[in-house]
Amino acid sequence: MNKEGTVLAARNLRKVFSTAGGELVVLDGVELEAQRGEMIAVVGPSGSGKTTLLYLLAGLDRPTAGEVEFDGRRLSELSPEELAAHRNTRIGFVWQLSNLLPDFTAQENVEMPLLVRGESRERAADEARRWLAEVGLAERAHHLAGELSGGEQQRAALARALVSGPAVLFADEPTGNLDEANRERILSLLIALHRTHGLTSFLATHNLESAGRCDRVLRLDHGRLIPTRGSQPGES
């Protein structure tokens, strides 16, 4: 593994949800250091907190206690505007269900993150075209997202996650709803994009075979993140 420094760290991360049944402790002291260029699988049974953890690491939700540091900066110290910019430019997120806007074309969906941050229409269109081609979807660019197949939607979702040039990619069970052939295609694409673009990536998955293709596999167990194989955080 190429160790070029820590890009993302979690320090004693805790997340507690208040529910009708009382307090639910989902994360209870998560420690993590992700090195630049690593691809890390997060596994654990349904309800163990994979999605919750990815949201905190991505800055999409805030921890109850503890810290997430991105390039040495604490996310808790960012203003709401800085945090929004962080989400728009530094991280890409792919959901289990693609989360595309179904009544917009694949092209329009991929352009959106760039238009949101004020890029010109021409630049957004060019970049979206380039990314749709890279994920093998050039011929579907002008189809409505809602009319794409499950595998095609995840390709478009990958293009949308990467179009703004993020440093870290989060994929939350991106192949959970696909058949085996499509799962394999999307996973291979994810790994290829990860390598080509020098990303640091997190893959939450139930699938141990998919997890096994990552550099490290971390398991959520009673709110903590336990290494299951590969290097310990901080080693290389």
Ligand X SMILES: Nc1ncnc2c1ncn2[C@@H]1O[C@H](COP(=O)(O)OP(=O)(O)OP(=O)(O)O)[C@@H](O)[C@H]1O
For binding to Mg ion (CB under 5 A), which residues are involved? 50-51
Q: Which is nearer to ligand X, 22 or 72 (CB)?
A: 22
Give the single-character DSSP code of 15: E
Q: What is the DSSP letter of 105?
A: B
CB of 220 to ligand X, least distance (A): 7
What's the chain's Rg over C-alpha atoms?
17
Calculate helix-pair angle for 106-116, 121-134, nearest 10 degrees: 130
What secondary structure letter does DSSP report for 147? G
d(CA 67, CA 185): 35
- Say which entry of Mg ion, ligand X, none residue 49 contacts (CB below 5 to 8 A, set by partner kind): ligand X
Closest Cα to residue 135, out of 169, 104, 101, 180?
Answer: 169
Which residue's Cβ has the minimum distance to Mg ion? 51
52 vs 175, which CB is nearer to ligand X? Answer: 52
Residue 132 or 220: the one with the smaller Cβ distance to Mg ion is: 220
Residue 2 or 18: the one with the smaller Cβ distance to ligand X is 18
Give residues 4-63 in contact with ligand X (rule: CB under 6 A). Answer: 17, 19, 24, 26, 44, 46-52
Give me 65's structure tokens. Answer: 């206690």
* Tokens (6 digits) for 13: 């991360």
Q: Cβ closer to Mg ion: 95 or 131?
A: 95
φ, ψ of residue 157 to 5 degrees: the values are -65, -35
- Using CB under 6 A as the binding rule, whether residue 86 contacts ligand X is answered as no
116 binds, among ligand X, Mg ion, none (CB under 5 to 8 A by kind): none
Residue 24 CB, shortest distance to ligand X, in Å, is 6
Tell which positions 160-179 bind ligand X, by CB under 6 A: none
Q: Which H or E run contains 224?
A: strand 224-229
Q: Which residues bind ligand X (CB under 6 A)?
A: 17, 19, 24, 26, 44, 46-52
